[in-house]
């Protein structure tokens, strides 16, 4: 057997360079490179290995959590067919990645994490940043990655790579088991040499299979559709990850079945498709939510039925409602008592299309769909063009961005009031044009993920839509965008606090407590003094961005034109009127209200809450 003597870290990088994926006859490399920050836990091992492999790009980031977000944004924009690896030192560098790991795994997106670890030989322990335990020596902070990883391993000996790496790739390329893979790398083992077999470094192509539904389940699903009078498709992120948008478009057009979209699935159909009903659930449109309420069959495609999708299990109210679920993951396919089609979304849609023959919804139902679509389009136009004086509403800002954006432009967001408004109002023109992280709804995702999305496809203009709270949490990857010459446009909405949670707090009778950015009042000792003045434009400029502060909606539109003409990153700041929100449309979200309180507002909110909970259903 031919062997190559290499350190464990050198062997790891050499292996990653040779990993390819294949789907539908197209083959390309899986890893675009590595993101991270060096410290004493990885600089001598991974750092040295990367230095001698300049063809495997290394990108220095400013925060380890942001590195994972960037890799996740890249993977999502690549439909899970490409990703980055992320490296860190031991201790705080490693644990900084845990939030990013949870986000990627919740959203079923592939990222490889390579945190440095303590010395495997232990004789110099405790080393700097080591967590000790009185119960065992075989534990460290990297064990915290276990619940947020789909696969976890600690490499105690260099030869363990030979068995660990194929397992890591199996998970990273699996349509059903996809998520974060964490390989904890003791810092001494990274530098140890071993005679690795040459076969380990041969090019490997991992086939992304398009599994089909079994015959019996397919027949039952077809029977359920044929018997339905008011069917509704709920399109989740699996439609996009499967690249099944054209098949869904054709299927919906042929059958007349309306399509409602989850946050992850938005963009499965173009906004002007005749069967596009818009967003569903707690952040849904009037059209989709009314169709969902009376649907007698729900066809879920690539969705995991999160509470926002089901409006906390209140969305589907028909006593006769049944479910057919298409999902690569058996775990999700069986949810809500559905007929499970454990299959790839594109393959299953092709199977259903062939089996349904001439099925089409009734003319009456088709007319209702068309009427609801027309009413909703008029509502969006109203919210886009309120024509008010003073600070614009957030809906007007969204409308201005949409009007400025091109056919293939991408909007990235994740947290605050933005996901709800964007889910309802954004008119997605092309697949992956709406890039929302709402499985974990993590503040701080937006800017690094936008950079990742832009790196995935530099031909597309990318907008990151952030609030002032999110920006203050994690603006530093602006420096990384400047470093790498990555152009994105950041739209920073300044509403002086946490608008979403402030609104939720008021709905719970809590008057927005602790959600506004205000000085502490000297007399009351409460955070109810004047607003805190932050010059966001000046801050962005200090990080290397081109920055513009718009005073009104016209200036904002001009600023977007200026930003599009720039070659590098631009931050556009606009103050909005947080008191003008987008209504909820026949929707609800279960947020428990205090059962006992001295506040009359809270008591009234509890009464409303108990009444609303009566609509929650168990779908068995």
Q: Which DSSP symbol is given to 319?
A: T
What does the pLDDT read at residue 532?
Answer: 87
Dihedral of the alpha carbons of 140, 89, 453, 148, in degrees to the nearest 10:
0
516 inside domain: no
Q: Which residues of 123-151 are buried (b: 16+ CB within 10 A; e: fewer)?
A: eeeebebbeeeeeeeeebbbbbbeebbbb
429 inside domain: yes
Ordered DSSP codes for 69-121: HHHHHHHHHTTTS-EEEEEE-STHHHHTTHHHHHHHHHTT--EEEEEEE--TT
Using CA atoms, how far apart are residues 593 and 41, in angstroms rounded to an integer? 46
265 to each of 259, 302, 335, 568, how far by Cα in Å? 10, 8, 18, 30
Statement to judge: residues 269 and 197 lie in one domain? no
545 inside domain: yes
Indicate the residue among 147, 181, 207 that finishes a domain. 207
Statement to judge: residues 47 and 196 lie in one domain? yes
Look up the CATH number of the domain holding residue 369.
3.40.50.1220
pLDDT in tens, 460-486: 999 999 999 999 999 999 999 999 999
Confidence of residue 55 (pLDDT cuts 50, 70, 90): very high
Statement to judge: residues 66 and 129 lie in one domain? yes
**What is the total count of domains within the chain?**
3
On whether the CB atoms of residues 26 and 210 are closer than 8 A, the answer is no
Overall size of the chain counted in residues = 620
Sign of CA dihedral 275, 281, 284, 287: positive
H-state helical runs in 298-417: 307-310, 330-333, 345-356, 363-384, 394-404
Biggest CA pair distance of the chain: 80
Q: How many alpha carbons lie under 13 Å from residue 526 in its C-beta half-sphere?
A: 7
Using CA atoms, how far apart are residues 498 and 417, in angstroms rounded to an integer? 8
- State the average pLDDT over residues 432-457: 97
Using CA atoms, how far apart are residues 510 and 324, in angstroms rounded to an integer? 40
β-pair type (570-575, 489-494): parallel
Statement to judge: residues 195 and 284 lie in one domain? no
What does the pLDDT read at residue 416?
Answer: 85
Domain residues for the domain of 254 are 215-375
Statement to judge: residues 185 and 201 lie in one domain? yes
Statement to judge: residues 72 and 178 lie in one domain? yes
Statement to judge: residues 426 and 474 lie in one domain? yes
Dihedral of the alpha carbons of 113, 116, 121, 126, in degrees to the nearest 10:
-130
pLDDT in tens, 481-513: 999 999 999 999 998 877 777 777 677 777 778
**Phi, psi (degrees; rounded to nearest 5) at 264:** -70, -25
Statement to judge: residues 406 and 543 lie in one domain? yes
Statement to judge: residues 68 and 172 lie in one domain? yes
Interhelix angle 446-456/64-77, nearest 10 degrees: 40
Of 546, 442, 564, which is closest to residue 102 (Cα–Cα)?
A: 442
Statement to judge: residues 154 and 243 lie in one domain? no
Of 417, 471, 467, 443, which is closest to residue 579 (Cα–Cα)?
A: 417
pLDDT in tens, 187-204: 999 999 999 999 999 999
Statement to judge: residues 137 and 229 lie in one domain? no
Statement to judge: residues 193 and 224 lie in one domain? no
pLDDT in tens, 126-174: 998 899 999 999 999 999 999 999 999 999 999 999 999 999 999 999 9
247 to each of 74, 128, 443, 531, how far by Cα in Å? 24, 55, 34, 51
């Amino acid at each position: 057997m031919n062997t190559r003597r290499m350190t464990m870290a050198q062997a790891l990088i050499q292996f990653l360079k040779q990993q390819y994926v294949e789907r539908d006859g197209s083959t390309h490399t899986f890893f675009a490179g590595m993101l991270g920050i060096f410290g004493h836990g990885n600089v001598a091992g991974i750092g040295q290995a990367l230095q001698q492999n300049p063809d495997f790009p290394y990108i220095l980031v400013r925060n380890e959590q942001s590195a994972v977000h960037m890799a996740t944004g890249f993977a999502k924009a690549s439909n899970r067919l490409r990703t980055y690896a992320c490296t860190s030192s031991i201790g705080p560098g490693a644990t900084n990645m845990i939030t990013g790991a949870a986000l990627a795994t919740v959203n079923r997106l592939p990222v490889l994490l390579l945190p440095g670890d303590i010395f495997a030989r232990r004789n110099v322990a405790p080393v700097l940043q080591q967590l000790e335990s009185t119960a065992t020596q075989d534990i460290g902070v990297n064990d915290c990655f276990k619940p947020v990883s789909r696969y976890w391993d600690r490499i105690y000996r260099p030869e363990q790579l030979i068995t660990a790496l194929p397992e890591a790739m199996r998970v990273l390329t699996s349509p059903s088991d996809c998520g974060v893979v964490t390989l904890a790398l003791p810092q001494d083992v990274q530098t140890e040499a071993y005679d690795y077999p040459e076969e380990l470094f041969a090019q490997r192509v991992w086939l992304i299979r398009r599994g089909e539904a079994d015959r019996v389940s397919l027949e039952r699903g077809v029977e359920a559709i044929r018997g339905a009078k008011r069917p509704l498709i709920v399109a989740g992120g699996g439609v996009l990850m499967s690249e099944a948008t054209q098949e869904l478009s054709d299927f919906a057009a042929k059958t007349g079945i309306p399509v409602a979209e989850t946050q992850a699935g938005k963009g499965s159909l173009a906004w002007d498709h005749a069967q596009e009903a818009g967003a569903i659930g707690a952040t849904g449109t009037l059209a989709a939510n009314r169709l969902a309420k009376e649907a007698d069959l729900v066809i879920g495609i690539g969705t995991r039925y999160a509470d926002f999708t089901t409006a906390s299990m209140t969305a589907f109210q028909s006593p006769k409602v049944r479910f057919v679920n298409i999902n690569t993951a058996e775990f999700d396919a069986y949810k809500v008592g559905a007929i499970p089609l454990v299959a790839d979304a594109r393959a299953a849609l092709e199977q259903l299309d062939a089996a349904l023959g001439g099925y089409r919804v009734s003319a009456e139902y088709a007319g209702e769909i068309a009427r609801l679509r027309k009413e909703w389009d008029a509502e969006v136009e109203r919210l886009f063009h309120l024509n008010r004086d003073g600070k614009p509403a957030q809906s007007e800002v969204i409308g201005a961005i949409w009007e400025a954006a091109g056919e293939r432009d991408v909007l990235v967001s994740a947290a605050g009031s933005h996901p709800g408004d964007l889910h309802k109002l954004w008119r997605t023109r092309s697949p992956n044009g709406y890039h929302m992280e709402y499985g974990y709804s993590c503040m701080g995702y937006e800017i690094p993920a936008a950079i990742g999305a832009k790196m995935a496809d530099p031909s597309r203009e990318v907008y990151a839509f952030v609030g002032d709270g999110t920006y203050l949490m994690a603006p530093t990857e602006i420096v990384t965008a400047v470093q790498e010459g990555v152009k994105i446009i950041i739209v920073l909405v300044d509403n002086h606090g946490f608008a979403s949670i402030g609104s939720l707090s008021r709905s719970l009778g809590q008057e927005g407590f602790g959600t506004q950015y205000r000085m502490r009042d000297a007399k009351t000792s409460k955070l109810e003094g004047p607003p805190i003045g932050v010059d966001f434009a000046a801050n962005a400029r200090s990080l290397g961005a081109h920055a513009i502060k718009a005073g009104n909606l016209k200036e904002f539109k001009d600023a977007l034109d200026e930003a599009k003409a720039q070659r590098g990153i631009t931050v556009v700041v606009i103050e909005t009127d947080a008191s003008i929100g987008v209504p909820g449309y026949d929707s609800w979200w279960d947020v428990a209200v205090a059962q006992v309180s001295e506040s009359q507002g809270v008591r009234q909110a509890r009464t409303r809450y108990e009444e609303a909970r009566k609509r929650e259903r168990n779908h068995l």
